């Protein structure tokens, strides 16, 4: 039996053989098995108080939300988005949306108005669940530009033109029958970034829960009795697959902390909550390392069985630090928005290979390839000599099934039965995979993918900016830092005041997590003869690296720096 079929046997399917629904497997199944009293979610406040939500309560509240959506005329295939921090309403809305047969799209609450608008529009979002503060700042001014957005539910206040969460829930029954859900019914949209164009909405189906189940068992060893802490924000794929779905499916208790990162508090959470399994990210690990070993050594982590990491390269030093200071090495895991679940990992029961992403899980066939064929042909692949692009044989249950409204972009990442990941890797003779870098220009900052075009298009909205190019530069803490190169319009002085003004405008439109940290004014940007800005060359020049193949460079645009300073 395949690992996927084995995972299917541990799941129930909807009663009456009516298909498979993620929320049923995550919540109602446990109640049906007599485990409704178990704690599903433990919310921590920044003051340290805890509020527990049991599986039964989550089942009833998500039923109410599904009924509320039904009353709003929302059902199968409609998209419901959340723009919320880690509050109970987010988890109720997530499960209720899936129970209603609607499609869940969680958005990162720290996004500025522009990334939110783009995603709501592109996702054809029909209902948004958010707070009054978020609504006033990010939605209300743009609402006319969002014709698909029929209802906004506010969890804290009632404002004109919105629905009140409290009223919707109070009026709704806590009984709900999940409609028949085919394993291929759409369940989730996760937005991710590419080098070109607007963000891509990766679409996932209910069958993905089979991979959440299997990987949560095999890689994270999650089960009832575990206190699991996934530190990823639910606005990103890790925060949904492993911050919401997988621990519930496995019947564990999730610790959910909505406070800001603070080393001392994080150590206290690990200790006070007796966390058994911890899934975090290299940026956080590096920040803990920076805070010093002495701080860590003031706490004991005796309950911690497993520490794992995802999202960015995890270096051997961080793995060793975990072992020395926490008593557990970090187990690196690799996956992507498009894969929906962990594909490559340092497994829990084998020695860690420090610095390597891991080995493909059972059920996953990985290859190292090069793309071949001309630009007009369908992509084809051939085996790479040593290093190359990581490709995954199609067929795992949580594989994304499309990019919203972008069939061509979807088709372009498949070749000869493989999904092409865009990551460059090396496989050693023992089968370990080592991350080398991205094959494209996307930026990874603090574990979040940032598309250069999304940032550049906001910079171009500034009245003084003529051209803009954005790249990621190595940063010792966040992995990559977003840096912008800008040319100004004729007659405008490229001075410090203007630099600050552009930075501030970018920050307010994009949000601090996505906006550039630094802007350099250039007299011209390097372009190909067809007029495309060569980000690769900007990066090479900034870092003093070999400039590579310059045969397409348009030599008529000399590149000179007129000013460059860094914002702290």
Site for ligand PRX, rule CB under 6 A: 192, 237-238, 310-314, 332-337, 357, 421, 423, 435, 438, 444, 449
Quote the crossing angle between the two packed helices 496-510 and 452-459, to the nearest 10°.
Answer: 120
In the complex, the smallest distance separating the C-beta of residue 442 from ligand PRX, rounded to whole angstroms, is: 8
Closest CB to ligand PRX: residue number: 337
Q: For residues 283 and 482, what is the distance between their CA atoms, to the nearest angstrom?
A: 15
Q: Which residues pair with 80 in a beta bridge?
A: 104, 127
Nearer to ligand PRX, 312 or 467 (CB): 312
* Residue of 6, 188, 231 lying closest to 101 (CA atoms): 188
Nearer to ligand PRX, 280 or 337 (CB): 337
Nearer to ligand PRX, 314 or 498 (CB): 314
Q: For residues 258 and 50, what is the distance between their CA atoms, to the nearest angstrom?
A: 11
Quote the crossing angle between the two packed helices 208-218 and 3-10, to the nearest 10°.
Answer: 100
The phi and psi torsions of 263 (rounded to 5 degrees) equal -50, -50
In the complex, the smallest distance separating the C-beta of residue 310 from ligand PRX, rounded to whole angstroms, is: 5
In the complex, the smallest distance separating the C-beta of residue 332 from ligand PRX, rounded to whole angstroms, is: 5
Q: For residues 248 and 181, what is the distance between their CA atoms, to the nearest angstrom?
A: 19
Nearer to ligand PRX, 72 or 105 (CB): 105
In the complex, the smallest distance separating the C-beta of residue 553 from ligand PRX, rounded to whole angstroms, is: 27
Nearer to ligand PRX, 138 or 190 (CB): 190
SS (H, E, C) 268-284: HHHHHCCCCEEEECHHH
Q: For residues 500 and 490, what is the distance between their CA atoms, to the nearest angstrom?
A: 19
Q: For residues 509 and 450, what is the distance between their CA atoms, to the nearest angstrom?
A: 15
- Helix (H), strand (E) at residue 118: helix 113-122
Q: Which residues pair with 481 in a beta bridge?
A: 473
Q: For residues 563 and 542, what is the distance between their CA atoms, to the nearest angstrom?
A: 13
DSSP 137: I
Contact 61, 35 (CB under 8 A): no
In the complex, the smallest distance separating the C-beta of residue 397 from ligand PRX, rounded to whole angstroms, is: 16
* Residue of 500, 517, 496, 502 lying closest to 464 (CA atoms): 502
In the complex, the smallest distance separating the C-beta of residue 278 from ligand PRX, rounded to whole angstroms, is: 15
Nearer to ligand PRX, 253 or 333 (CB): 333
Q: For residues 312 and 41, what is the distance between their CA atoms, to the nearest angstrom?
A: 27
Nearer to ligand PRX, 335 or 485 (CB): 335
In the complex, the smallest distance separating the C-beta of residue 128 from ligand PRX, rounded to whole angstroms, is: 22
- Cβ-proximal residues to 223 (8 Å cutoff; 6+ apart), any chain: 217, 250, 251, 252
In the complex, the smallest distance separating the C-beta of residue 528 from ligand PRX, rounded to whole angstroms, is: 25
In the complex, the smallest distance separating the C-beta of residue 237 from ligand PRX, rounded to whole angstroms, is: 5
Q: For residues 537 and 525, what is the distance between their CA atoms, to the nearest angstrom?
A: 10
Q: For residues 98 and 104, what is the distance between their CA atoms, to the nearest angstrom?
A: 7
Nearer to ligand PRX, 156 or 323 (CB): 323
In the complex, the smallest distance separating the C-beta of residue 232 from ligand PRX, rounded to whole angstroms, is: 8
Nearer to ligand PRX, 280 or 336 (CB): 336
Nearer to ligand PRX, 58 or 210 (CB): 210
How many degrees, rounded to 5, is the angle at CA 34 between CA 29 and CA 39? 80
Nearer to ligand PRX, 326 or 357 (CB): 357
In the complex, the smallest distance separating the C-beta of residue 490 from ligand PRX, rounded to whole angstroms, is: 39
Nearer to ligand PRX, 191 or 267 (CB): 191
DSSP string, 487-504: EEPTT----HHHHHHHHH
In the complex, the smallest distance separating the C-beta of residue 48 from ligand PRX, rounded to whole angstroms, is: 29
- The maximal CA–CA distance of the chain, rounded, in angstroms, is 73
* Residue of 85, 247, 55 lying closest to 63 (CA atoms): 55
């Amino acid at each position: 039996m395949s690992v996927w079929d084995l995972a299917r046997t541990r799941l129930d399917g909807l009663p009456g053989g009516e298909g498979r629904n993620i929320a049923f497997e995550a919540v109602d199944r446990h109640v049906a098995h007599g485990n409704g009293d178990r704690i599903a979610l433990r919310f921590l406040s920044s003051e340290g108080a805890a509020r527990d939500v049991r599986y039964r309560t989550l089942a009833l509240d998500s039923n109410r939300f599904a009924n509320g959506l039904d009353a709003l005329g929302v059902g199968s295939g409609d998209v419901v988005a959340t723009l919320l921090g880690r509050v109970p309403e987010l988890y109720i809305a997530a499960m209720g949306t899936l129970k209603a047969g609607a499609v869940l799209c969680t958005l990162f609450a720290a996004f500025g108005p522009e990334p939110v608008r783009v995603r709501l529009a592109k996702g054809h979002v029909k209902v948004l669940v958010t707070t009054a503060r978020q609504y006033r700042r990010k939605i209300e001014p743009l609402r006319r530009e969002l014709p698909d957005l029929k209802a906004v539910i506010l969890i804290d206040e009632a404002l004109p033109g919105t629905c009140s969460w409290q009223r919707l829930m109070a009026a709704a029954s806590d009984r709900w029958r999940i409609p028949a859900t085919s394993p291929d019914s759409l369940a989730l949209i996760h937005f991710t970034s590419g080098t070109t164009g607007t963000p891509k909405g990766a679409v996932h189906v209910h069958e993905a829960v089979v991979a959440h189940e299997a990987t949560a068992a095999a890689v994270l060893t999650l089960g009832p009795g575990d206190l699991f802490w996934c530190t990823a924000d639910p606005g990103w794929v890790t925060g949904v697959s492993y911050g919401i779905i997988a621990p519930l499916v496995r019947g564990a208790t999730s610790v959910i902390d909505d406070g800001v990162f603070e080393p001392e508090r994080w150590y206290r959470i690990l200790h006070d909550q007796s966390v058994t399994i911890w899934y975090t990210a290299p940026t956080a690990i590096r920040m803990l390392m920076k805070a010093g070993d002495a701080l860590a050594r003031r706490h004991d982590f005796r309950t911690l069985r497993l520490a794992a990491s995802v999202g960015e390269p995890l270096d051997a030093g961080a793995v060793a630090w975990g072992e020395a200071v926490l008593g557990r090495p970090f187990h690196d895991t690799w996956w992507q928005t498009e894969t929906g679940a962990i594909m490559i990992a340092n497994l829990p029961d084998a020695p860690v290979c420090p610095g390597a992403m891991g080995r493909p899980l059972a059920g996953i066939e990985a290859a190292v390839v090069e793309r071949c064929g001309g630009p007009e042909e369908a992509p084809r692949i051939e085996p790479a000599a040593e290093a190359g692009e990581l490709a995954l044989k199609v067929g795992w249950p949580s594989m994304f099934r499309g990019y919203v409204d972008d069939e061509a972009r979807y088709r372009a990442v498949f070749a000869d039965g493989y999904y092409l990941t865009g990551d460059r890797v090396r496989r050693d003779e023992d089968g370990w995979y080592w991350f080398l870098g991205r094959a494209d220009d996307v930026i990874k900052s603090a574990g979040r993918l940032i598309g250069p075009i999304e940032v550049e298009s906001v910079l171009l909205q500034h009245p003084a900016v003529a051209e803009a190019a954005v790249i990621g530069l190595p940063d010792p803490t966040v992995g990559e830092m977003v840096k912008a190169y800008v040319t100004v319009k004729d007659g405008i002085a490229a001075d410090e005041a203007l630099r600050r003004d552009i930075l501030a405008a970018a920050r307010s439109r994009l949000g601090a997590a996505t906006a550039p940290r630094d802007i350099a004014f250039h007299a011209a940007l390097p372009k190909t003869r067809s007029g495309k800005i060569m980000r690769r060359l900007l990066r090479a020049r900034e870092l003093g690296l070999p400039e590579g193949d310059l045969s397409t460079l348009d030599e008529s645009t000399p590149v000179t720096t007129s000013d460059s300073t860094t914002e702290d």
